[in-house]
Amino acid sequence: MSKFLIKKSGPLKGEVKISGSKNAVLPIMAATLLTDEDCEILDVPALKDVDVMCELLSCLGADVDKELEKNRIKVKAAKKIASEAPFELVKQMRASILVLGALLLRTGHAIIHLPGGCAIGERPIELHLKGLKALGATIDEEQLLKGIVDAKADRLKGASIYLDFPSVGATEVIVMAASLAEGTTVLQNAAQEPEIVDLANFLNKMGARIKGAGTDTIKIEGVEKLHGVSHHVIPDRIEAGTFMVGAAITRGRILIKNMLPDHLKAVIAKLRECGVHIEFTDNGVLVDGGKNPLVSTDVKTLPYPGFPTDMQSPFMALLTVAKGPSVVIETVFENRFMHVGEFNRMGAGIRTEGKCAIIPGNKVLKGASVAATDLRAGAAVVLTGLIAEGTTIVSQIYHIDRGYEHFVDKLKELGADIEVVED
């Protein structure tokens, strides 16, 4: 098994270019199944999750031409599409559920074993199913009890749907399914994440009629057919946020290129509260963590445009060394404090109570053997490793490959002392 060996590094300095968004490209790849014509996706990050989605699409019957060294994928789903997603792939990646609507539309039947993915809470999918039922699908309740989604529909019909929680995945599945349903769908309390907007832009280019993506009400007028398109994926806001914290925690100065600051308003506001200097320039976003003292602030995660749950662990890494105590409240996932145990091995002294973590701050962290307990927690412990005294060894780094393109190379380029070692 590979591990990271990280030594205390000086301030990160230089430039970094942000890759295409993982969470935008996965639903867009699923949406290529909605047409039998050629689709081209550009700025695709070379990530494990993208590999798994490519494999899933080709197992389902699509022709996938993967050129990740050029950050490009071409998909043509012209042949007969299968109804069942192979369990071996689905269990590797929760986002596999995103093909649910496409399978129903293309084959009238979808069978998917409930997926794994990050170990951050139960992550149910009742909202995806509520939406599909409203559109006219029937779900086999007995199979569902066994953890298998078995959905059938001859023809989906537009409906009025209210989501009890603005789930990103449920919004994406419903928007895809409604695009080819008969009539109009109105989706209320929809997720408003930038990745939803990117998916809607992709579908609209394909000929869909979607309005309101990026707000809490999305209106979709179903169309008869969608056609092939070429599309550039938006930059990854979580990768950008992680490098912003990288500049802050190491008291460094990084120019972040290909980042859309509008997608990171909450993170930028919170970093500024901590004393981090952030400047928007023509060449990118300049983040300077060395200009002012680092001070604490409180953070509460929320659906977009609130503070992103995916930035919670990297931000907590920063708070461990900021001056003064802080409180982090996680409201999106029920079990997303697994990194706390890892930070505490390095001397962070954090206490958790339910959804709250109390961070004393003012710590000098010490290198330790820690684990990347999930994707974002993995990036977070790497950041703490960069400032901890001595050496930090990070295990389970395969989680990080799921979501950060060329993470080690990008960090090294900025001056980090990080190596991949084999056991």
Tell me which residues are annotated as active site.
118
Residue 165 makes contact with ligand UD1 by CB under 6 A: yes
Radius of gyration of the CA atoms of the chain, in A:
21
Residue 199 makes contact with ligand UD1 by CB under 6 A: no
Please count the other Cβ atoms lying within 10 Å of the Cβ belonging to residue 297.
Answer: 19
Residue 299 makes contact with ligand UD1 by CB under 6 A: no
Q: How far is the CB of 169 from ligand UD1 (least distance, A)?
A: 3
Residue 125 makes contact with ligand UD1 by CB under 6 A: yes
> What is residue 171's three-state secondary structure?
helix
Whose Cβ is closer to ligand UD1: residue 85's or residue 255's? 85
Q: Which one among 10, 14, 116, 121 touches ligand UD1, defined by CB under 6 A?
A: 121
Residue 123 makes contact with ligand UD1 by CB under 6 A: yes
Please report, as a single letter, which amino acid is at residue 409. D
Q: How far is the CB of 22 from ligand UD1 (least distance, A)?
A: 7
CB within 8 Å of 11: residues ≥ 6 apart:
250, 251, 252, 253, 289, 290, 415
Find how far residue 224's CA is from the centre of its chain.
31
Whose Cβ is closer to ligand UD1: residue 29's or residue 370's? 29
Q: How far is the CB of 272 from ligand UD1 (least distance, A)?
A: 22
Q: Which one among 249, 256, 271, 332 touches ligand UD1, defined by CB under 6 A?
A: 332
Residue 310 makes contact with ligand UD1 by CB under 6 A: yes
Residues 232-261 that bind ligand UD1 (CB under 6 A): none
CB within 8 Å of 286: residues ≥ 6 apart:
253, 254, 255, 256, 277, 278, 279, 280
> What is residue 12's three-state secondary structure?
coil
Rounded distance between C-alpha atoms, residue 232 and residue 223, angstroms = 23
Q: At what angle do helices 237-249 and 312-321 cross, to 10 degrees?
A: 10
Q: How far is the CB of 335 from ligand UD1 (least distance, A)?
A: 9
Bond into 305 cis (ω within 30): yes
Residue 373 makes contact with ligand UD1 by CB under 6 A: no
Q: Which one among 25, 53, 127, 359 touches ligand UD1, defined by CB under 6 A?
A: 127
Residue 307 makes contact with ligand UD1 by CB under 6 A: no
Residue 23 makes contact with ligand UD1 by CB under 6 A: yes
Q: How far is the CB of 379 from ligand UD1 (least distance, A)?
A: 12
Q: Which position's Cβ is nearest ligand UD1? A: 169
Rounded distance between C-alpha atoms, residue 137 and residue 152, angstroms = 5
Q: Which one among 101, 115, 136, 169 touches ligand UD1, defined by CB under 6 A?
A: 169
User: β-strands 391-395, 217-221: how paired?
Assistant: unpaired
H helix intervals, 365-415: 375-387, 398-401, 407-413
Q: How far is the CB of 281 from ligand UD1 (least distance, A)?
A: 29
Residues binding ligand UD1 (CB under 6 A): 23, 26, 94-95, 121-128, 165, 167-170, 191, 195, 309-310, 332-333
